[in-house]
Amino acid sequence: MKQKFTILFDLDGTLVDTAPDLMLAHNYVMKKFGYPTKSTEDIRSLVGQGAGALIGRSIWGQAKKEFSRVKDENIKDEMTKEFINFYGKNILNKSTLINGVKKFLIWCKKENISMAVCTNKTEHLAVDLLKKIKIYNFFEYVAGHNTFEYCKPDPRHLASIIEILDGDINKSLMIGDSESDANAAKNAGVPMILLQDGYTEKNVNQIYHNHLVKDFVNIEKIVLKYL
């Protein structure tokens, strides 16, 4: 029997504001390897030119840009491992749920809506964060960038999750904050709810969406239109 409805959620910048802890990991690695550290404002100016968005798709994206300047592949690999290791141990120091998330997840459960996380974060880190911030049990499935052989913006990342949940692509929604979420949703034929201050350097009018929201407060009014 197919689920009544399915909602897929991005994680970083959508369910959880992870920027502070990602920044701590970024600066830890840069300092350890002799590179200059950056503030959130520094990163904002690099990718957003003072826009109200948080830092680019993720601090990890900026870290990779920094790593790419290192010529020695062994050092690059070591920096990447240090980043993931430090972040994994400090995944919930300053990260917080986006406003209204918990209340909305509770509402979805009451409405018998099937929920899953579709993130480009490494799967084990995504699961760990969801457990520590105490919303893991709301979701029937969590797919990271390494769960399948493809990830967002590839629409198969969304479609595969919906199929695993025995859902219907025509009875699904995507909630995210960046163009990777939006492009995956668009190409999968899934309506998109976009958070307006996401982890992206693009303006909201450059990103595909059917609905634009500030946070999760009263977002159920939008979802009800699809049920």
Mean pLDDT to the nearest integer, 102-125: 95
- On whether both 13 and 23 belong to a single domain, the answer is no
Q: Of 10, 17, 177, 181, which one is the catalytic site residue?
A: 10
User: Could you read off the pLDDT of 130-170 as tens digits, one per residue?
Assistant: 999 999 999 999 999 889 999 999 999 999 999 999 999 99
Domain that holds residue 61: 19-89
Q: Phi, psi (5° rounding) for residue 104?
A: -70, -40
Q: Is the pLDDT of residue 15 over 90?
A: yes
Residue 1 lies in a domain: no
- On whether both 85 and 123 belong to a single domain, the answer is no
User: Of the candidates 57, 89, 121, which is a domain's last residue?
Assistant: 89
Residue 158 lies in a domain: yes
Q: How many residues does the chain have?
A: 227
- On whether both 148 and 75 belong to a single domain, the answer is no
Q: For position 214, which CATH number holds?
A: 3.40.50.1000
User: What single-letter amino acid sits at 166?
Assistant: D
- On whether both 43 and 103 belong to a single domain, the answer is no
- On whether both 118 and 205 belong to a single domain, the answer is yes
Residue 73: per-residue pLDDT = 62
Residue 157 lies in a domain: yes
Residue 199: per-residue pLDDT = 76
Higher-scoring residue by pLDDT: 2, 108:
108
Residue 11: per-residue pLDDT = 92
User: Of the candidates 89, 121, 145, which is a domain's last residue?
Assistant: 89
Residue 50: per-residue pLDDT = 20
- On whether both 210 and 109 belong to a single domain, the answer is yes
- On whether both 186 and 77 belong to a single domain, the answer is no
E-only strand ranges, 85-154: 96-97, 114-118, 141-143
Total domains in the chain come to 2
Residue 127 lies in a domain: yes
Q: What's the mean per-residue pLDDT of the chain?
A: 84
Higher-scoring residue by pLDDT: 76, 80:
80
pLDDT band with cut points at 50, 70 and 90 for residue 55: very low
Residue 93: per-residue pLDDT = 95
User: Could you read off the pLDDT of 17-49 as tens digits, one per residue?
Assistant: 887 887 888 788 778 877 777 765 454 333 322
Known active-site residue 10: yes
Residue 82: per-residue pLDDT = 83
Whether the CB-CB separation of 123 and 148 falls below 8 Å is answered with no
- On whether both 111 and 62 belong to a single domain, the answer is no
pTM, whole model, 2 decimals? 0.85
Whether the CB-CB separation of 185 and 161 falls below 8 Å is answered with no
Long-range contacts formed by 146-155: CB under 8 A, 24+ apart? 146/122, 147/123, 151/120, 152/10, 152/118, 152/120, 152/180, 152/181, 152/183, 152/184, 153/179, 153/180, 153/181, 153/183, 153/184, 153/187, 154/184, 155/184, 155/185, 155/186, 155/187, 155/188, 155/189
Among 111-115, 117-121, 133-137, which stretch is predicted with the lowest mean pLDDT? 117-121
Tokens of 35: 């590179």
- On whether both 114 and 193 belong to a single domain, the answer is yes
- On whether both 71 and 101 belong to a single domain, the answer is no
- On whether both 103 and 210 belong to a single domain, the answer is yes
| Alpha carbon distance 52, 59 (integer Å) | 16
Whether the CB-CB separation of 196 and 214 falls below 8 Å is answered with yes
pLDDT band with cut points at 50, 70 and 90 for residue 58: very low
- On whether both 71 and 128 belong to a single domain, the answer is no
User: Of the candidates 72, 89, 106, which is a domain's last residue?
Assistant: 89
Residue 84 lies in a domain: yes
Q: Is the pLDDT of residue 226 over 70?
A: yes
Strands 16-17 and 96-97: antiparallel
Mean pLDDT to the nearest integer, 104-120: 96
User: Could you read off the pLDDT of 183-218 as tens digits, one per residue?
Assistant: 999 999 999 999 998 777 788 999 999 999 999 999
